Amino acid sequence: MSREIVPVLTIAGSDTSGGAGIQADLKTFLAQGVYGMSVITALTAQNTQGVQATAEVTPEFLAAEIDAVFTDIPPRAVKIGMTSSRALIETIAAKLQEYQAAHVVVDPVMVATSGAPLLAADAMETLVERLLPLAEVVTPNIPELTRLTGIGILDEDSFCKAAVRAARAYGTAVLAKGGHFTGREAHDVLALPDGTLRHFRAPRSSNENTHGTGCTLSSAIAAHLAQGETLTAAVAGAKAYLTGAIGYGLALGRGRGPLWHGW
Ligand code: PLP
């Protein structure tokens, strides 16, 4: 094989049902042609119907996981998903700074589609203060963007305004995901800190087996950035991949089934 296979890391939570979290990230990495590694922040007992229990690792154990990876196989990009609590966010931020991690993609995971909290109520401020300054891009969905900006998002106008406000306020690129809208197109916008906007549209799939879409998109962006693409190209490539994975989403379980990565 002549192409170099680059290592990429996900720091996120485990989903027993294999649809979201670490499991989605590793499947995405393989499908995108990169070598996947994983640092687990929390275990979830979870299926397509919801999250039944969660168990966080200690900050000390999380630090040991991150050290093990970075001192041996330094990743070319890092995706951050479920961070769970303030103490874990502090550990992640300190370690990413220590190792000068490149191409950090932050998915500001707050609540699962089922309604289960994946981030402690008091942890958003820490995420904003400690992780967003390290991010090359942040990927909020509409409820997350509302919490980050205080802007109620009712239409595409307020959606774009909120994305620009977040990018300016946090000094990082913001990919706002419009998947919660109900139009014929899945419309995402990439706002840059200078206020410019790029639009990404794909036909909306009628497949309702969408468990793990946010995880898949952010890990695909990390995989593309690791391979040297510009942010715009990485987002376009990741969205094209996500559109395929949703199209092939599997009717498994009693709730919204998982995406399929092996078509
Ligand atoms: N479980 C874990 C561990 C996650 O990291 C995430 C999302 O990032 C979810 C569940 C939520 O997935 P969904 O909203 O598709 O149910």
Which structural domains are found in the chain, ordered by start?
Answer: 7-247 (3.40.1190.20)
Task: For residue 3, report the distance from its CA to the centre of ligand 1, in Å.
Answer: 32
**In three state form, how does the secondary structure of 191-259 look?**
ECCCCCEEEEEEECCCCCCCECHHHHHHHHHHHHHHCCCCHHHHHHHHHHHHHHHHHCCCCCCCCCCEC
ipTM, two decimals, is 0.92
Summary mean pLDDT of the chain: 96
pLDDT at 55: 98
| Residue 244 confidence (pLDDT) above 80 | yes
- Would the CB of 21 count as within 6 Å of ligand 1? yes
| Residue 154 confidence (pLDDT) above 90 | no
Task: For residue 2, report the distance from its CA to the centre of ligand 1, in Å.
Answer: 35
Given pLDDT bands bounded at 50, 70 and 90, which one contains residue 182? confident
Question: CA-CA distances (angstroms) from residue 91 to 59, 76, 94, 127?
Answer: 6, 20, 5, 11
By most ligand atoms within 8 Å of CB, the mutation choice from 82, 114, 177, 209 for ligand 1 is 82
| Residue 232 confidence (pLDDT) above 90 | yes
pLDDT at 39: 99
Given pLDDT bands bounded at 50, 70 and 90, which one contains residue 47? very high
pLDDT at 21: 98
| Residue 1 confidence (pLDDT) above 80 | no
- Would the CB of 188 count as within 6 Å of ligand 1? no
For the segment 74-95, the average pLDDT, to the nearest whole number, is 98
DSSP letters for the chain? --SPPPEEEEEEEEETTSSSHHHHHHHHHHHTT-EEEEEEEEEEEEETTEEEEEEEPPHHHHHHHHHHHHTTS--SEEEE---BSHHHHHHHHHHHHHTT--SEEE----B-TTS-BSB-TT-HHHIIIIIGGG-SEE--BHHHHHHHH-----SHHHHHHHHHHHHHHHTSEEEEE-TTS-SSEEEEEEE-TTS-EEEEEEEPP-----BTHHHHHHHHHHHHHHTT--HHHHHHHHHHHHHHHHHT----SSSSPBP----
Indicate the range of 22-36, 41-55, 111-125, 130-144 predicted with least confidence: 111-125
Percentage of residues in the chain having pLDDT higher than 90: 94
Q: Dig out the tokens for 159 from the structure.
A: 């959606």
pLDDT at 233: 98
Percentage of residues in the chain having pLDDT higher than 70: 99
pLDDT at 44: 98
Rg (CA), the chain: 17
pLDDT at 114: 86
**Cα angle value 152/172/34 (rounded, 5°):** 110
For the chain, report the end-to-end CA distance as a whole number of angstroms: 22
pLDDT at 184: 84
pLDDT at 183: 81
Given pLDDT bands bounded at 50, 70 and 90, which one contains residue 216? very high
- Would the CB of 15 count as within 6 Å of ligand 1? yes
Q: Annotated active-site positions, please?
A: 177, 210, 212-215
pTM value? 0.97
Q: How far apart are CA 150 and CA 146, in angstroms?
A: 5
pLDDT at 128: 97
Q: How far apart are CA 260 and CA 212, in angstroms?
A: 10
For the segment 72-99, the average pLDDT, to the nearest whole number, is 98
Task: For residue 1, report the distance from its CA to the centre of ligand 1, in Å.
Answer: 34
By most ligand atoms within 8 Å of CB, the mutation choice from 17, 52, 109 for ligand 1 is 109
pLDDT at 25: 98
